[in-house]
Amino acid sequence: MPYKFTLALLCIFTSFISGQSQKVTLITHWIPQAQFAGYYMAYEKGFFSKYGLDVTIKNIDVDKPNEEELTKGNAEFITSFLSTAMMLSDQYDLVNIGQTSRKSALVFVAKAKSGIKSINQLKGKKIGIWAAGFQEIPRAFTARYDLNVKFVPIRSTINLFIEGGVDLMTVMWYNEYNSIINAGIDEEDMSAFFFSDYGMDVPEDGIYTTRKFYKENKTVCENFLKAVMEGWNYARENRKEALDNVIQRMKEARIPANYSHQSWMLDKVLKVIFPEGMSNNGKLKKSEFDFTYKILKDSGYVKKTLTYEEFIGQ
């Protein structure tokens, strides 16, 4: 493969001019899937190497929050929800070095046959939610609309919802939403409440590191973001290649994988990262921070004062 060979040469060359290449580890906040295709492409296509980074990508154990991994020194970078990171920023001294997602992909889904058609009908209902985290925005949502729901923490599957053990399920539009479709429930047979339609359009995935690492390795952090954004742009232009890589990683991780689902996921994730009529330089905007901060502050998930500048390491 002359291409790979050239790439290898390039890597060696870049490490020579920048001295030793920086070894860093990234831990994503969920199992390998198309949600992280941009990171995989940045790795596979040598964008990290281009910026003098020797990146190892790891997946989180879904039973633990990956913020812990930063403080344990297992990773230099993690991905996380903006809201989760804000909540945990004080605890783990997190700095947002990049914001890839620009929109909310959160959805409450009910079976249409349950008769739930409007948001008011959610009152007193059992809603499945990820036990591992990402609960603050759904909880803020139900609090804002005073729905008094009962959240049922679920490890990772939609099976309880399929069985009818919960009335609704908190899903990501790019993930579980399609898992439900692929379990034989047609989209028409679903009642979906997109958070973005209810004033809760909170940006999600971003890249975090510790304040300490950020202060010592600003360029590395900047380069890391650049490489990731290049990876996402590459994935957007080369979906098939990106998908093949995702599927391969999933199979290696012994995770059920199919093109149908990953293709759906990549498509929706790209819609969230590159929303129509919006450019994305990967930097968190102050407006995004303020919007999310207000929701979290109002719902009591963030108690201490946090400023935009603090949050992005300035």
Partner 1 sequence: MKLNFIKNSSLKIRLAGSILLVAISILSVMFVINFIISRNFMFNNIEQNARNLTTARINELEKILKPLEKIPAGIAAFLESEDISREDIYTIIPRFLAANDDVYGICIAFEPVKKGDKATLDAPYFFKDKGSINDLNVKDSYDYTIWDWYQIPKMMNKAMWSEPYFDEGAGDVLMLTYSVPWYKEVNGNRILQGIVTVDLALDKLQKIVSSTKILDDGYAFLISKKGTFLTYKNSDVLLHQTIFSIADEYQKPEYREIGKKMIAGESGFADIDEFDTGENFRLFYAPVKVNSWSMGLMIPKDELFADVSELNFLLYFIGLVGIGLLTFFTFMITSRLTKPLKLVSTIASEVASGNIKSAKSSIIELTESNKQIDLMMNIDKNQIKDETVLLLRSFYIMLEGLDSLTQRVRLAVIQIVSSNNVINSSVKELEEAITTQAASTGEVTASANEINNNVNSLSVSVNKFSDNIVNADQLLNEGIEYIEEIRKAMDSIVNLTNSMVNKLNLISRKTSNINKVTSTIAGIADRTNLISLNAAIEAEKAGDFGTGFGVIAREIRRLSDNTSNSLMEIESIVNEVQNSVDDGVTSIKDFSIEAKKSYNYVNSVAEKLSRIIDFNKNLNPEFDEVNSKIQFQLESAGQISDSMIHLSSNAAHLKDTLKEFLSISQKLNEAVVSLRDSVKQFNL
Q: How far is the CB of 156 from partner 1 (least distance, A)?
A: 9
Contact status: 228 vs partner 1 (CB under 8 A) = no
Closest to 22 in 3D by CA, of 209, 249, 302, 289: 209
Compare residues 129 and 227 and give the one whose CB is closer to partner 1. 129
Among 254, 277, 279, 305, the residue binding partner 1 under the rule CB under 8 A is: 254
Contact status: 112 vs partner 1 (CB under 8 A) = no
Q: Give the range of 3-11, 133-141, 155-163, 291-299 binding partner 1 by CB under 8 A.
A: 155-163
Tokens encoding 47 = 């964008």
Do 184 and 105 meet the contact criterion of CB atoms below 8 Å apart? no
Sign of the C-alpha dihedral, residues 200, 205, 207, 210?
positive
184: region left, alpha or beta (phi > 0 left; psi from -120 to 50 alpha): left
Q: How far is the CB of 216 from partner 1 (least distance, A)?
A: 35
Q: Give the range of 31-39, 96-104, 164-172, 217-225 binding partner 1 by CB under 8 A.
A: 164-172
In angstroms, the Cα distances linking 6 to 45, 192, 266 are 11, 48, 28
Do 85 and 209 meet the contact criterion of CB atoms below 8 Å apart? no
Contact status: 162 vs partner 1 (CB under 8 A) = yes
Q: Residues 53-92: x/- map of binding to partner 1 (CB under 8 A)?
A: ----------x-----------------------------
Residue carrying the six token digits 């209902």 = 125
**Cβ contacts of 117 within 8 Å, gap of 6 or more:** 191
Compare residues 222 and 267 and give the one whose CB is closer to partner 1. 267
Contact status: 188 vs partner 1 (CB under 8 A) = no
Rounded CA separation 156/141 (Å): 21
Write down the H helix ranges in the chain. Answer: 2-17, 37-44, 47-50, 67-71, 82-92, 136-144, 159-163, 176-181, 211-216, 218-237, 239-252, 259-273, 286-298, 308-311
Contact status: 124 vs partner 1 (CB under 8 A) = no
Rounded CA separation 23/4 (Å): 20
Contact status: 153 vs partner 1 (CB under 8 A) = yes
Q: Give the range of 143-151, 158-166, 207-215, 265-273 binding partner 1 by CB under 8 A.
A: 158-166
Among 124, 164, 199, 300, the residue binding partner 1 under the rule CB under 8 A is: 164
Among 8, 10, 12, 183, the residue binding partner 1 under the rule CB under 8 A is: 183
Count the residues of the shown chain that bind partner 1, applying the rule CB under 8 A: 28
Rounded CA separation 100/208 (Å): 11
Residue carrying the six token digits 């207000």 = 294
Q: Using N-to-C axis directions, what is the helix angle for 37-44 and 239-252, rounded to 10°? A: 100
Contact status: 184 vs partner 1 (CB under 8 A) = yes
Contact status: 260 vs partner 1 (CB under 8 A) = yes
Q: How far is the CB of 185 from partner 1 (least distance, A)?
A: 9
Q: How far is the CB of 261 from partner 1 (least distance, A)?
A: 6
In the chain, the amino acid numbered 152 is V
Binding site for partner 1 (CB under 8 A): 63, 131, 152-155, 157, 159-160, 162-166, 181-184, 251, 254, 256-261, 263-264
